Structure 1
Amino acid sequence: MSPGDTPAVARRKVRLAIKDARSAKGDTQTQVAEAMEWSLSKVMRIESGEVTISKNDLRPLLAYLGVKDRKVVEELLEATAAARQRKQWWDDKRYQGALLTQATRQLISFEAEASSIRSFAPTTFPGWLQTERYARAILEGYAYEIAEDVIEARMSIRMERQKMLRGREPRPALHALVDESILLREVGGVEVLREQLAAISAAIEDGLVVVRIHPSSRPMPPFGHFDLLNLAGEADGHAVLYRESGLYDEIVDDAVRIARHREGWDRTWDGALDEKNSARRIAAAAASAGAYPAGSDLRTE
């Protein structure tokens, strides 16, 4: 493991090395499970990052997969030890299942150690920018699918994530690319929207986040909500991709899809309003929340 690697980086390094070695060997996860006399679910959970593999399991697995370079093996053994060293609040069993999906647990671990986060938000502001009332209004929209105690737990988790991000030293570089329509969408009502917009204006002024607005005059990019997180200690340009839609979310490891999302984000970011005009637009929208009917043009001259 490299000296700068953190637990999340170490865990990711091990699981990707296993996945790459299996692909190079041409085995399926089922074939690996049969050869190692493990359950298929164990192999799947190791490769997805849901569990961290032990040294005793890693050694024979690497041998089976043909990873024999002594230096590489030792680095991966050190990495798996580092990945198991520290438990965080999101690793608690009470946050498994409906309260906190596996993908969200992974996202939080990456947020805790990311050097930069880039979010694309087409329908609502990113979770790490949401006020408590705005977040609650979103979660309560799923009351027909999830219980009240689950909503309360997810609210608590979302606020804890924000506190963690804002309290980190050094703080990660935060960039939010939001669609213009969000400035008019009265999630939770006019007062909640006004409060949310004012909070984002304050965050911009305090230098906590850089925001650009994708204007409604431009075509909508072919993406849903996603986050790209670069991890500290990793090469520039390598990112973790997190995607969500409603109550469904996932961590994407596929390099091609990650590259496409980054290219799409960069292209849309470059075509968006610049930071100064975006900040003006948000401040103006906060001052006039509820004064414009749906479909109004908020563009300033």
Structure 2
Amino acid sequence: MPEGDSPTVARRRIRLALREARERADLTQLQVAEEMEWSLSKVIRIENGDVSISPNDLRPLLAYLGIKDKPLIASMVADARIARKRQRQAWYQATEFRENLTDATRKLIEYEIEAAEMRSYSVYFVPGPLQTPEYAAALMTRYEDELSDSQRERRIAARQLRRDALLGRAAAGEVRILVMLDESVLRRTIGGPAAFTEQLRELRRLAAEQIITIRMVPFTLDAAVTNNAMFDLLTLGEGEVLYRETGLGDELNEDRDTTGKHRARFDKIWDEAADEAATLAFIDDQIGTLEKLQ
């Protein structure tokens, strides 16, 4: 098994292997549930990573799925043991956050704690973990008709806790963060001139301290990364996870073809975008312009 295994990584590896094995065997989740005398929800929760599978449940399941390779079985059983190790309850599992964050968001946070690299792309706004509190609050006012005051407060608090964890790891050299923003993101004064100026200064600080690497996709570059307004692509010990957010909705996608296409497209446009020096010069110009308005 790879070094640095954690229950999160082990659980992800084993659930993906089980899902792929079931699909190769041309079996439905219902067929697996009936054969194993489990509830359908148990199979779904195992494949979604909501629960871990015990070694005792895993062995007969592997036999049913036709997996006979002894080294592979031993590796998967070892993963099952690691995945079931008890972890200290994380902040995002606390009741106040479970009730106000989507399942996709909570899994994203869990993966951010383990990611080795993160590629973030946005057309409309600064990515969540890089937002200042004032900028995040201004964004959340867009949903005052859909979300209660308590829900918005919890989501803002979650963004700041995500920020502390992710940027702390980046400062320690544990994760590499590549941020690619459309020029419109660096022009859109969300929260007003003062709040937006503070946000731009924060992006500049993070880049200057080499916590993030940032590039801008200028209006003059006739290219788009994807049809999606934003996404985060996280590289874990094995494989990648794609997170997409659209307004109040979000989703995680671990399909290799989908993540591979997003990675290739991101890297292609990254090479064509304005480099970091030009991007930071643009940010400095924006800060100077905004300061005159205050």
Q: Output the TM-score relative to the length of structure 1.
A: 0.89
Contact 1:165–1:171 under 8 Å retained in 2 = no
Q: CA–CA distance in 2 between the matches of 1:122 and 1:195?
A: 19
Query: Alignment partner of 1:289: what SS?
Result: helix
- Structure 1 residue 114: deviation in Å? 1.0
- Equivalent residue runs for 1:93-112 within 5 Å: 93-94=94-95, 97-112=98-113
* Matches for 1:121-140 after TM superposition, within 5 Å: 121-140=122-141
Is structure 2 residue 287 aligned with structure 1 residue 286? yes
Match in the other structure for 1:7: 7
How far, CA to CA, are the matches of 1:274 and 1:281 in structure 2? Answer: 11
Identical-residue share of aligned pairs (%) = 41
Separation (CA, whole Å) in 1 of partners of 2:58 and 2:146? 39
The answer (yes or no) to whether the contact 2:97–2:158 under 8 Å persists in 1 is no
Partner of 1:76: 76
- Per-residue displacement from partner, 1:185-211 (whole Å, max 9, x unpaired)? 121111111110011011111111100
CA contact (8 A) 2:231 2:244 kept: yes
Structure 1 residues 258 and 119: alpha-carbon distance in aligned structure 2, compared to 1, 3 A threshold: same
How many residues align? The count is 288
1:133-282 counterparts in 2 under 5 A?
133-168=134-169, 169-217=172-220, 218-221=222-225, 222-231=227-236, 233-234=237-238, 238-282=239-283
- CA 225–95 in structure 1, closer or farther in 2 if over 3 Å, else same: farther
Give the secondary structure class of the aligned counterpart of 2:143: coil
Q: Deviations over 1:2-33 (max 9, x none)?
A: 34322222111101110110011011222222
Q: 2:182, 2:216 within 8 Å by CA — same for their partners in 1?
A: yes
Structure 2: how far apart are the matches of 1:35 and 1:90?
Answer: 37
> Cα–Cα, structure 1 residues 289 and 84, in superposed 2: closer, same or farther, change >3 Å?
farther
Relative to the length of structure 2, the TM-score reads: 0.92
The separation in 2 between residues aligned to 1:53 and 1:243, in whole angstroms, is 28
Distance 1:219 1:91, change over 3 A: closer
Matches of 1:139 and 1:226, distance apart in 2: 18
Structure 1 residue 58: Cα displacement: 1.7
Q: Which residue of 2 aligns with 1:297?
A: none
For residues 89-145 of structure 1, the C-alpha deviation after alignment (integer angstroms, 9 at most, x for no partner) is 146251565412221121111111111111011110111111011111112211211
Residue identity in the other structure for 2:50: E
- Range with bigger deviation, 120-129 or 81-90: 81-90
Matched residue SS, 2:116: strand
1:40-59 counterparts in 2 under 5 A?
Answer: 40-59=40-59
CA RMSD of aligned residues (A): 1.9
Deviation at 1:44, TM superposition (A): 1.7
Paired residue secondary structure (1:15): helix
- For structure 1, the residue ranges without an aligned partner over 5 or more in a row are 293-301
Structure 2: gaps (5+ residues) = none
3-state SS of the aligned residue for 1:288?
helix
